[in-house]
Structure formats: structure tokens, C-alpha cells
Amino acid sequence: MTSQNKKKEEELIKLFDKAPIKKTFGMTFHYDQGSAIFELPYNPGLDHALGGTHGGVIATLLDNAGWFTVALYYDTWIATSEFQTRLLEPVTKETLISRGWIIRQGKTLSVAGMEVKTSSGKLIATGTGSFVVTSVPYNIFQS
């Protein structure tokens, strides 16, 4: 990994650290070999009425993993255009880990694959997402 990529990873992690959703959900985030990895400890406040983790929470993990993976490779803002979620298994009372990877990197559109597993390795959801590359400058920390 180049020092430039490492710097970008650090900037994106700082960006996420400022996001209110991080505190609300209790997620942590890091990079591993160019893939964004999110970890969500079990939180009963994110369960549906029957006690399982709500599908919208799982979709959020997928979107975050895709967006932050793609964002690493561009110098302008990207925006989620669409994403597909496939919920494969219900999950209750477990830590969830999402991961993203690049499927296609283009000038104006990037496509990512995403997955969510339990901390024991059980695959519970997969997804793909399209992310539009905007012309908005990527100046996160300039006041």
C-alpha cells in the first residue's frame, strides 16, 4: 500500500468517526487490503419485533462497506446510486461484520460487491451497489 492510499484510508475513517450514525449504531470501521470492513456489535435497540437484527440495519452495513470501499479510489465525492440486498439468513444477538470489494471501477460509475457475516463466519447477506463518481471536490477536512 502506498502512503497516499494509507492517508486516504485515515481520512475516510476520520470522516466516518464524525458521522452520527456511527454513534447511533455503534459500528467500527477499518480497511484491510483495500476493502472497507465494518463491525457492528449486537445492539438490542436495532432488533425488529421478533428479536432479530432488522434487515434495514443489515442493508446499512452493506451500503457502508460498498461506499467506503469505492471512496478509497476516487478524489471526488461518490454517491450511492442503487444497491441490492439479499438477506440469506436471519440473525439474532450476534456481532455482524460487513466487507466491500470493487467489481468494476470506471470514470463515472463504480460497482462494489458487499457481504455481511456473523462474527462466527456465517454468511447472512450479500449485495451489490452502484456508486456515481461526482465532480464535487473531495475536501473533507478543509474548513
Q: Establish if 60 belongs to a structural domain.
A: yes
Domain that holds residue 31: 3-137
Q: Establish if 109 belongs to a structural domain.
A: yes
C-alpha 8/C-alpha 102 separation (Å) is 16
Q: What is the DSSP string of 102-139?
A: EEEE-SSEEEEEEEEEETT--EEEEEEEEEEEEEEE--
**In this structure, are residues 98 and 86 in contact, taking their beta carbons and an 8 Å threshold?**
no
Q: How many domains does the chain have?
A: 1
Q: Which three cell numbers stand for residue 65?
A: 462497506
Report pLDDT digits (tens) over 62-89: 999 999 999 999 989 999 999 999 999 9
pTM to 2 decimals?
0.92
Is 80 exceeded by the pLDDT of residue 2?
no
Q: Establish if 133 belongs to a structural domain.
A: yes
Q: Give the residue carrying C-alpha cell 466516518.
A: 16
Q: Establish if 143 belongs to a structural domain.
A: no
Under the banding of pLDDT at 50, 70 and 90, the label for residue 4 is low
Q: Establish if 73 belongs to a structural domain.
A: yes
Q: Establish if 63 belongs to a structural domain.
A: yes
Instruction: Say which CATH number the domain at 105 has.
Output: 3.10.129.10
C-alpha 131/C-alpha 41 separation (Å) is 27
Q: Which three cell numbers stand for residue 136?
A: 464535487
C-alpha 32/C-alpha 114 separation (Å) is 14
Report pLDDT digits (tens) over 84-131: 999 999 999 999 999 999 999 999 999 999 999 999 999 999 999 999
Give me the helices (H) in 19-130, please.
20-25, 55-71
Q: Establish if 119 belongs to a structural domain.
A: yes
Under the banding of pLDDT at 50, 70 and 90, the label for residue 137 is confident
Under the banding of pLDDT at 50, 70 and 90, the label for residue 143 is very low
**Residue 51, Ramachandran bin (φ over 0: left; ψ between -120 and 50: alpha; else beta):** left
**In this structure, are residues 82 and 130 in contact, taking their beta carbons and an 8 Å threshold?**
yes
Q: Establish if 94 belongs to a structural domain.
A: yes
